[in-house]
Structure 1
Amino acid sequence: MSADFWAGYLSGAAGILIGNPLDLAKTRLQAGSPASSPEEPTSLRNFKSNFDRAGTLVRGVTAPILGYGALNAILFVTYNRSLTLFGDDPATPNNLWKVWCAGAVGGLATFVVSAPTELVKCRTQVSTAAAASSWSIARDTWKQEGIRGLYYGGGITSVRDAVGYGFYFWSYEMSKQAMSSPNDTDKQAAMKVLFCGGLAGIVTWASIFPLDVVKTRVQTQVADAISSTLPEEQRLLRGDLEPTKLGISKRQGAFQIARQSYRNEGIAVFFRGLGVCSVRAFVVNAVQWAVYEWMMRLLRQA
């Protein structure tokens, strides 16, 4: 395997380990709580309620650690190869438009991993069932809907990834070129990588957050379909129900979800959780880029 593959894989896994608690809060804030009523004392929209117990902090982390490491590896390999094909040097790119296009190609290439990983992660994170895990959600989805079920919401996921990763590499390279100096010490260079990586994460999520809100709601519709007819402890992702009882045939597409969300909750719904996501994005992507750059130097010297 190439150096950028392993550097991308390890940096992706490191980012997930650090950012999962805040990612869980973001997902639950985006998904909302369709079944909540004035009588219910706790809502998923309340930030503190997203951390009801210690185990919640790592809920849904298994799928992203395995999946996002592979996703990041595919992303960086495809980005570097695409930028080379566009006639630019991945180590020192000169054309930011080519950087954006290569990032978008890399984002599209991650679809095969990101779509099922995101679906399993989101459904696990919004589940309140104590026995819910990444493995049980993936198993039940496969059992009930097959491979097609794991790629539900894949269309909007691929659009989100293409646009987002275009801005991801573009903003990182632009800020890095603006801040870098040939006289930087190793410590100064490392601090700038951390800052530029964190900034790239914020720019990326700010550019695609409405798409991500819609994606989350599209992929968690199995839970929404049965939330109003079952007791709370049985509401989310019941594996023993037949697909027809889960309301799969009634699930809506991305445009329908977006229109309904706007009609019911206004424009603010598309930015719910952006604050939490921005904090997470800065920390996670600062670490990811630092690990990636460090691993690339290490592997090139080997």
Structure 2
Amino acid sequence: MGEGPAVRPSAAITPVQQMLASGSGAVLTSLFVTPLDVVKIRLQAQQAPLYKGTDIKLFSFHRQVMAVPATVIYFTCYDQLRDFLRYSMGYQGDHIPLIAGGLARLGAVSVISPLELVRTKMQSRKLPYSELMVCIHSAVAQDGWLSLWRGWGPTVLRDVPFSALYWFNYELVKAQLCEWYRAPQTSFTISFTAGAVSGAIAAILTLPFDVVKTRKQIQLGEMEALGVVSVKKPSSTWNMMRNIWIDMGYRGLFAGFLPRVIKVAPACAVMISTYEFGKTFFQERNLNQARCGL
């Protein structure tokens, strides 16, 4: 902890402006990565024969649509938490992005998790969005409110470490690139490169958790499609990883390695560079308005 709170930079943007910047980046990223996500899910779900062709494509497409509100919450919370720790609490150091990234993702996952589960149920029964409330009521009546957070554990195990690693490496690589090129502020190219590098590293290290999450979602969809009500307690994340290791070895835990890296690295690059560009736009806009008001 430093001697006192750091000074917040001028022309800071508002949370609403952060949400607009992250929302535009999330939409562009979702459109970009959907085809690659289809390939990754096919490779991870080779033992799930019910999900073929159009079903896999729809599964992937709706995942990307659901990613938009999650990304808006996630990026806005990250910036707010990072700035709070730095400028309000006075903490400094490379660990700040790691902490803020992990906590921001934890919050976003907790908020979006029920919607993810409902979306999976709707796809397995091929229900339209107009019957969303019916689907939610059915899920709660059958298994209780906590059932809406089923799959929260493996999602957290995958996304929280990913986010912590991603922001830690992003801020580090970005600072090094700015110093290398003697850039006074982050350019689009610098943020794009730092996003791609940090995204690739985080994607590789957390891939086994992504495999387990995909397997669990598809197994749930199969049970729903067949009308099967399981009386057994779902396998834990660690048990599933152990079984995958026994059956297929490290290849099973890293299934979809290349598509995930090819998807995540450019997706992170597009998302963060668009987000940084949006923030720069609003910062300059706020600064001009402040000057006009003088």
TM-score of the two chains, using structure 2 as the length reference: 0.75
Quickly say closer, same or farther: Cα 1:251–1:189, change in 2 above 3 A.
Answer: same
Distance in 2 separating the partners of 1:153 and 1:163: 16
The structure with more helix, counted as a fraction of residues? 2
Distance in 2 separating the partners of 1:218 and 1:21: 21
The equivalent position to 2:139 in structure 1, one of 130, 139, 145, is 145
Contact 1:107 1:163 (8 Å CA) reproduced:
no
Identity over aligned residues, as a percent?
A: 20
Matched with 2:18 is 4
Matched with 1:279 is 262
Quickly say closer, same or farther: Cα 1:149–1:139, change in 2 above 3 A.
Answer: farther
Deviations, residues 130-179 of structure 1 (Å, cap 9, x unaligned): x8478499678635422544421102212322211111111111111111
Corresponding position: 1:288 with 2:271: yes
Contact 2:120 2:221 (8 Å CA) reproduced:
no
Letter in 2 for 1:212: D
Distance in 1 separating the partners of 2:216 and 2:83: 36
Matched with 2:241 is 258
Quickly say closer, same or farther: Cα 1:135–1:269, change in 2 above 3 A.
Answer: farther
Letter in 2 for 1:289: I
Letter in 2 for 1:197: G
Distance in 2 separating the partners of 1:217 and 1:137: 26
Contact 2:188 2:276 (8 Å CA) reproduced:
no
Corresponding position: 1:238 with 2:225: yes
Matched with 1:229 is none
Contact 2:118 2:136 (8 Å CA) reproduced:
no
- SS of aligned partner of 1:196: helix
Matched with 2:12 is none
Distance in 1 separating the partners of 2:231 and 2:219: 8
Deviations, residues 180-201 of structure 1 (Å, cap 9, x unaligned): 1565599x93222211111121
Contact 2:121 2:135 (8 Å CA) reproduced:
no
Distance in 2 separating the partners of 1:142 and 1:135: 11
Quickly say closer, same or farther: Cα 1:31–1:113, change in 2 above 3 A.
Answer: farther
Query: How far apart are residue 75 of structure 1 and its match?
Result: 1.3
- SS of aligned partner of 1:258: helix
Q: Mind listing any 5+ residue stretches in structure 2 that lack a counterpart?
A: 1-14, 287-294
* RMSD over aligned Cα atoms: 3.4
Query: How far apart are residue 219 of structure 1 and its match?
Result: 2.4
Q: Which moved more, 1:100-109 or 1:110-119?
A: 110-119
Matched with 2:253 is 270
- SS of aligned partner of 2:206: helix
Quickly say closer, same or farther: Cα 1:286–1:56, change in 2 above 3 A.
Answer: same
Distance in 1 separating the partners of 2:195 and 2:139: 38
Matched with 1:28 is 42
1:52-91 equivalences in 2 (<5 Å)? 52=53, 57=57, 59-65=59-65, 67-87=66-86
Deviations, residues 7-45 of structure 1 (Å, cap 9, x unaligned): 122212221111011112212322331559xxxxxxx8x
Matched with 2:27 is 13
Letter in 1 for 2:176: A
Distance in 1 separating the partners of 2:107 and 2:252: 29
The equivalent position to 2:209 in structure 1, one of 187, 208, 211, is 211
Query: How far apart are residue 223 of structure 1 and its match?
Result: 3.8
Contact 2:170 2:195 (8 Å CA) reproduced:
yes
How many residues matched?
264
Q: Mind listing any 5+ residue stretches in structure 1 that lack a counterpart?
A: 37-43, 45-49, 227-236
Contact 1:119 1:220 (8 Å CA) reproduced:
no
Contact 2:48 2:218 (8 Å CA) reproduced:
no
The equivalent position to 1:108 in structure 2, one of 82, 89, 106, is 106
